[in-house]
Amino acid sequence: MSDQAIHLLKLLDLEPIEVNLFRGISPRSKWPRVFGGQVIGQAMVAACRTVDERLPHSLHAYFILPGDPTVPIIYEVGRLRDGRSFSTRRVTGIQHGQAIFSMIVSFAKPEKDSFSHQEVMPEVPPPEAFSPEKMAGHPLLKDAPKFVKRFYESDRPFRRRPVEMRPVEFERYLGQKAPGGRINFWIKTNVELPDDPAIHQCALAYASDMALLDSIAARHGEALFKDNIMAASLDHAMWFHRPFRADEWMLYSQDSPSANGGRGLARGMIFTRDGVHVATVAQEGLVRLRSPTATPPVA
C-alpha cells in the first residue's frame, strides 16, 4: 500500500468505453498484484451499469490470473438474461488480452417476504473499543509482530485505506487461537457514500475480500499476514439479504469449516451494528505455510 489515500468512489467509477465495455484503474501500490476485492467491486459496478430497477442478490466469481496493477482492467459484460423477476450478467475482467477474472451476477426485482429468519450476530465489544487511539496504547502492542505494530502505531493506515477494519480478537496476533475458530472485524468505508443502494453493495463486495482467508489461519493460531504464510483467493461467492449502508459500522464475522490439500474454505456473515444480517460470503483459497524455497502462488 502506498502513502497515497485510496478514494473508494473514484476506484469504483468505471469509464464506459463501448456498449457493455468498461475500464477500471488500480491505485498505486507496492503489491505486485491487484487486490481481489477491487476486481470484485469494479466488476459489480460494470454489471450494475447494464441493469435497471433491480439490485444484485448474489455473485459467484473466479480469480483466473493475478491482476497487473500497472495497467487498466477492461470489464466486458455479457447480458445473459432479462426475465420477469431476475436478470443475469456475466462479467469478464481482461488484461493483456487474457481473462484474469470471471463473475456471474444475478439481479432480482423486489418481492414481499414469504419466510423471514436470520442468524444472530455474535456478542462483541463495539467498534469504538478498537479505535486507532485506543489500540495504539494497547498493553500487548509492544509484543506484537512487526506487521501488527505498523498497522496500529499510527493512524495513517486507517486514513488512507478505502475501508477501515477494526479486528476484535487482537490477542490472536500474538499466537492465541481464536475462540471456536471464529474471528470478527468491524468494517465501514472511509468515505460517505451516495444513497444509491447499488453503490453500497459494490462497496461491500470490495470489502468482503479483506482478510477473509485469515479465518483459515486463525484456526491454527496463525495470522494471514505473517511472513511464513502464503495465501491467494481462488473463488468468491456473496449473497445480499437485506438493505444496508456500507459507510456505517458493520460486523464481519468469519470462520473456516474446512482446510485440506493446501486449500481452505472461509465463510463470513455481515451484520449491521444493530444486528441485522445483511450478507453472507464464502471463499476458497490457497493458504499454506511458506517453506524457505517456496514461490508465491500464481492465483
Hey, which residues are catalytic here? 209, 233, 283
Rounded to whole angstroms, how far apart are CA atoms 223 and 59? 27
Yes or no: say if 197 and 179 are a contact pair by the CB < 8 Å rule. Answer: no
Q: Which residues contact 298 (CB under 8 A, 6 or more apart)?
A: 65, 66, 232
Residue 175: strand, helix, or coil: coil
Smallest Cα–Cα separation from 276: which of 251, 256, 239, 254?
Answer: 251
List, in order, residues 6 or more apart from 247 with CB less than 8 Å away.
Answer: 188, 189, 191, 192, 193, 200, 203
**What grid cell was written down for 230?**
502464503
Q: Which of 223, 224, 276, 225 is nearest to 249 (CA)?
A: 276
User: What's the full length of the chain, in residues?
Assistant: 299
